[in-house]
Structure 1
Amino acid sequence: MSHGRIICAGLGPGDPDLISVRSDRVVRGARHIAYFRKAGRQGQARRIVEGMLAPGAIEYAMEYPVTTEMPFDSPDYNAVLSAFYDDWTARLHALVAQGHEVVVLCEGDPFFYGSFMHLYVRLRDLVPVEVIPGIPGMVGCWNATAEPITWGDDVLTVLMGTLPEEDLIRHMQASDALAIMKTGRNLPRVRRALAAAGRLQDAWLIERGTMPTQRMARLADVDAADCPYFAIVLVHGHGRRPVAGGEE
């Protein structure tokens, strides 16, 4: 009987010092390591664990067949990615069937918009799967601003920059604090929506949060053509809080 399993290690927002003790121990002891990356790139998750892998660890680079080359909502895009996840499900299943423990790396938290979710739903009924939580990237980014993201009764909304502009505006107007992910080439749409919602002057762009190359700037001051891929837009809440004299 196989004693293999899959462990997905959440690695946090990017700074290796923010990896949990559990994930650190699992990564350092792994003999089989898998991670997602764009073809020709090292991969963000792999970069985070540089220097941590055990000698002789076998690496499996799961290279996306497509990233931004097709519209994300097209049937072709969905079909290509579905086949990609099916293929890697079969490969990982085969390794577990041979008795191997495979550690899959995931930046941020695996269950918060992580690519591993697509493998998880395919593998969980086939093999033992353990998921180790990680600090989500947006948490690292709002800590980088050195300002609380929410106060009192503030409502925080997490938005995808891929949403239609009118949907972005509606959510931006209805929420106190905002975390906007999947910016990149969608950043001009996000900027227009924030301006229409009257929130642009309060928006921050954080690129590569918690990493040595971190950049932070007010979105209104960033050149409109500057659309970094690995970035989050934040708008802080300003809600109820105790003030001098004990009033709120």
Structure 2
Amino acid sequence: MAKVTCIGLGPGDPDLMSVRAHRLLTSARIVAYFRKPGREGQARRMVEGLIPAGAEEWPMEYPVTTEIPVQDPGYNAALAPFYDHWAARLRSADADVVVLCEGDPFLYGSFMHLQSRLPAGMVGVVPGIPGMVGCWHATGQPVTWGDDVLTVLPATLPEAELARRVADTDALVVMKIGRNLAKLRRVLAAAGRLPEAWLVEHGTMPAERVRLLAEVGEEAPYFSIAIIHGKGRRP
């Protein structure tokens, strides 16, 4: 049985990939990665020039290309057959497969939906630096001090749930923003925290952009993370 190994690529800069991930990638015979239809895919873009000549590439194209609430029945209806199909194809591979994942595979990564469909002995995972870590370093400020509580939220949550959790934390990271930016802005403004919020787009990548969230328009790229820094105990 071939082995399937998902490698965390880190936040975007190839120099932040682990040595193990680099070694597996540069010796791979089959490389699989997620992408939107017709797009190169962010993970594939991150490893440009590192895939061995002659390696097979398996682009796994999502049937859903926008962030919708997971409570929507259409979400599972569209994605479950997609993951079933690719899990079956990975099981039938005639050589080991390396699957690419931005950030860390176990932090909002798509690969976990394939892992749950594959035999345990077939799967390996290589950790990666999460994208949010690269983003808060891009702000040049520590994200937590002393006993600060850090909360990580997906912006796809209902507005009332976002508001409840924002009100109950010191430091904050919000992911999956995209078209949910206006909702997030309303929540932060109502909590009185909008002036201290930052938006980092494409953290550690060539197109990196760091701005106060209040200065951003109505929509943000998918690869955007909002950050509020804690202000806790300091010696």
TM range (shorter): over 0.9
Pick the aligned partner of 1:155 from 144, 149, 156.
149
Amino acid aligned to 1:239: G
Report 1:126-145 matches (<5 A): 127-145=121-139
Equivalent residue, structure 1, for 2:45: 47
* Partner of residue 222, structure 1: 216
> Would the alpha carbon gap of residues 71 and 147 (structure 1) be closer, same or farther in structure 2, given more than 3 Å must change?
closer
**1:246 matched residue in structure 2:** none
Match of 1:113 in 2: 108
Q: Which amino acid aligns with 1:130?
A: G
Amino acid paired to 2:103: G
3-state SS of paired residue (1:117): helix
Give the unaligned 5+ runs of structure 1.
243-248
Structure 1 runs of 4+ aligned residues shifted over 4 Å read: 69-72
Q: How far is 1:77 from its partner? A: 2.3
Structure 2 Cα separation of the partners of residues 94 and 82 of structure 1 = 19
Residue identity opposite 1:231 in structure 2? S
CA distance in 2, matches of 1:69, 1:196: 24
User: In the alignment, is the contact (CA less than 8 A) between 2:67 and 2:156 conserved in 1?
Assistant: no
* 1:72 CA drift (Å): 4.3
Alignment of 1:18 with 2:5, yes or no, is: no
Determine helix, strand or coil for the equivalent of 1:174: coil
Tell me how far apart the structure 1 counterparts of residues 165 and 219 of structure 2 sit (CA, whole Å).
24
Question: Is 1:175 the counterpart of 2:173 in the alignment?
Answer: no
Distance 1:67 1:138 in 2: 22
Q: Which runs of 5+ in 2 are unaligned?
A: none
For 1:113 and 1:149, the matched residues in 2 are separated by 20
Alignment of 1:60-99 (within 5 A): 60-68=58-66, 72-95=70-93, 98=94
- Residue 210 of structure 1 aligns with an amino acid whose one-letter code is T
Q: Secondary structure at the match of 1:122?
A: coil
In structure 1, what is the Cα distance between the partners aligned to 2:225 and 2:87? 30
Answer yes or no: is 1:102 the counterpart of 2:97.
yes
Tell me the residue number matched to 2:228.
235
Per-residue deviation at 1:71?
5.5
Rounded to whole Å, the distance in 2 between the matches of 1:138 and 1:145 is: 11
C-alpha displacement at 1:73, in angstroms? 2.9
Distance 2:102 2:68 in 1: 24
**In 1, Cα distance between equivalents of 2:134 and 2:145:** 18
Over the residues paired in the alignment, what is the CA RMSD in angstroms?
Answer: 1.2
How much does 1:60 deviate? Answer: 0.1
Query: Could you tell me the TM-score, scaled by structure 2's length?
Result: 0.97
Measured against aligned partners, the alpha-carbon deviations of 1:136-184 in whole angstroms (never above 9, x if no partner) come to 0000000011100000000000011011111111111110000000100
Structure 1 pair 210–40 and aligned structure 2 pair: CA distance change class (3 A): same
TM-score (norm 1): 0.92
1:70/1:238 CA distance change after superposition, 3 Å: closer
Q: Deviations for 1:22-52, whole angstroms, at most 9, x for unmatched residues?
A: 0001000001000000001100100010000
Q: What's 2:184 paired with?
A: 190
Aligned match for 2:118, one of 111, 118, 123: 123
Structure 1 window deviating more from structure 2 (159-168 vs 15-24): it is: 159-168
Cα distance 1:166–1:176, how it changes in 2: closer, same or farther (>3 A)? Answer: same
Q: How far, CA to CA, are the matches of 2:222 and 2:4 in structure 1?
A: 29
Query: Percentage identity across aligned positions?
Result: 62
Aligned residues: 235
CA distance in 1, matches of 2:67, 2:189: 28
Query: CA separation in 2, counterparts of 1:182 and 1:164?
Result: 13
